[in-house]
Amino acid sequence: MKAPLKIVIVGGGATGVLAAAHLVRHLEAATAKVVVVEPSAEPGRGVAYATDDPRHLLNVRVANMSAFADRPDHLCGWLRAKRGDNCPSPFSFISRADYGGYLADLAREALEAGKLTHAQALCVDLEARGDGARLTLSNGETIDANFVILATGHDTKPTLAGFSADQPWSEGTLDGLDNDAPILIVGSGLTMIDMALSFERRGRRGPITALSRRGLLPTAHRPATPRDLAAAKVPFGAELSAQLAWLRDLATRCSTEGDDWRSAVDALRPHTQRLWRAMQIEQRRRFLRHARVYWDVHRHRMAPEIEAATRALIEVGRLRIVAGRVIGARKIDGEVEVEFARRGALTTEKRRFAHLIDCTGLSEAPLQSANPLLRALLERGVARPDALGIGFDVADDLGLVGADGRASRRIKAIGPLARAAFWECIAIPDIRLQCAQLAEALAAVARSDAAQTVIS
């Protein structure tokens, strides 16, 4: 009798738990064993959903946040069961803490049912083998697997202009500050807004300066009419300027027909990964340099309640948005002296802050990763940076591409780790689709006698 496949998921945050949920949904226990390697005692929350601040809301409406795209009411059902009341309207935005509870319950149900095993440790090494891979854990144990799914989520950032700035949500970042002390946050996106609201909740009244290259805030969600956009109408592979002109024209047409640009951006969403994959390397480079920030502020929006709270902070002067960039920083007398240049200025300025927090987004320096597993993958040649050096190279089927240019059949990368390859794959609606597709593919393997391999 052949042993079941063993599938190991590295990372038990949102991406890892969604992968586990889809695997146990598609696989029978008799055909596969699923293990999640996660150092936290409770898989599911990760960094993004471990917050206990009720002002931290999801930036995607509740109707699009079910773990399963084909069961859009799954999250609402969980909310009803937990709260004993009706689910919020489809356009509402629940707290990140509530969503973390939802993910943790998904993992807990699978664990209690015996469909999932939790190895509470950090994966520090992974060696590819002909019939799978061997993982080494921080507690010294090893696990042999037929398939490995890398779901490590957001990597830690290296340095900011050579300075080790505080990271959002790191232990102590919000603690021990003078209520009137000035703070500098680099970045003006959704993470900056969450940090500013957390400081406000703790009673801080000191000024917060948010510095980003263009000084743009995320736009806000508004009710928008869903539109279907046929793939035949999307200019895949066109020059970047032509693609942007096409999108502006689509937004204009939506506006003249009674909607607004949000309908256009949302209609494009199912096609964004294919758009990115169709771009030549130079097109991607130009997008990152010139168009990325504008896409991000329109694509990654904030809840209307968060927009109102942010505007209130700006109006009373406790939050100031500055367009510019950090030149350097150093510690002086318990403070951080930051040299920065305003956008378009020929000279630089120096100011002191009690705190410097890096909210510039995902790490895009794989060769500088502090994650021991990612470093080991690069050193072993199991993985390689993508052509732009902003992430890992991943094939269309999610196989991790090694130094020899070949995509692994046994080691897959999903979620933020695959961002350089697919770009739009860091939000739950995108991640759940990746997880569903991968689970279906592995279920087909599990049913194939030819693919069964005994793992001791």
User: Tens digits of per-residue pLDDT, 217-250?
Assistant: 999 999 888 899 999 999 999 999 999 999 999 9
CA distances (Å), origin 123, targets 133, 357, 416, 438, 443 = 13, 28, 17, 21, 24
From the list 250, 235, 214, the residue with the least C-alpha distance to 283 is 235
Burial (CB count <10 Å: 0-12, 13-18, 19+), residue 365: middle
Give the model's pLDDT for residue 290: 93
Give the model's pLDDT for residue 454: 44
Residue 204 DSSP code: -
Give the model's pLDDT for residue 52: 85
* Other beta carbons within 10 Å of 379: 11
* Other beta carbons within 10 Å of 395: 16
pTM summary value: 0.92
The torsion region of residue 438 among left (phi > 0), alpha (psi -120 to 50) and beta comes to alpha
Angle at 394 between CA 391 and CA 396, to 5 degrees: 140
Q: What's the pLDDT band for 451 if we cut at 50, 70, 90? A: very low
Q: What's the pLDDT band for 427 if we cut at 50, 70, 90? A: very high
pLDDT tens by residue, 257-304: 989 999 999 999 999 999 999 999 999 999 999 999 999 999 999 999
CA distances (Å), origin 14, targets 43, 67, 103, 150, 231 = 8, 10, 7, 12, 29
Give the model's pLDDT for residue 247: 96
279 near 285, Cβ under 8 Å? Answer: no
Give the model's pLDDT for residue 159: 72
- The answer to whether residue 372 scores a pLDDT higher than 80 is yes
Give the model's pLDDT for residue 455: 43
Lookup: tokens for 299: 């694509």
Give the model's pLDDT for residue 177: 72
Between 201 and 29, name the one with better pLDDT. 201
- Lowest mean pLDDT of 25-29, 312-316, 415-419, name the range: 25-29
Q: What is the mean pLDDT of residues 412-439?
A: 95
Q: What's the pLDDT band for 130 if we cut at 50, 70, 90? A: confident
Give the model's pLDDT for residue 14: 95
Residue 412 DSSP code: E
Q: What is the mean pLDDT of residues 378-385?
A: 95
Strands (E), 181-285: 183-186, 208-212
**Averaged pLDDT of the chain:** 91
Q: What's the pLDDT band for 172 if we cut at 50, 70, 90? A: low
pLDDT tens by residue, 65-99: 999 999 999 999 999 888 776 677 777 899 999 99
Give the position of tokens 């009673």: 203
Strands (E), 202-348: 208-212, 319-332, 335-342
- The answer to whether residue 131 scores a pLDDT higher than 90 is no
Burial (CB count <10 Å: 0-12, 13-18, 19+), residue 175: exposed
Question: What does the alpha-carbon distance between residue 139 and residue 118 come to, in Å, rounded to a whole number?
Answer: 14
Lookup: tokens for 20: 């586990």
What domains sit in the chain, N to C, each tagged with a CATH number? 5-155+364-451 (3.50.50.60), 183-219+302-358 (3.50.50.60), 231-299 (no CATH)
67 near 74, Cβ under 8 Å? Answer: yes
pLDDT tens by residue, 18-70: 999 999 999 987 788 999 999 999 999 888 898 888 889 999 999 899 999 99
Give the model's pLDDT for residue 197: 93
pLDDT tens by residue, 286-297: 999 999 999 999
From the list 130, 6, 11, 116, the residue with the least C-alpha distance to 373 is 11
**Contacting residues for 412 by C-beta, under 8 A, at least 6 apart:** 147, 148, 149, 150, 397, 398, 399, 400, 438
Name the phi and psi angles at 356, rounded to 5: -125, 120
Specify the pairing of strand 32-37 against strand 349-353.
unpaired
183 near 352, Cβ under 8 Å? Answer: no
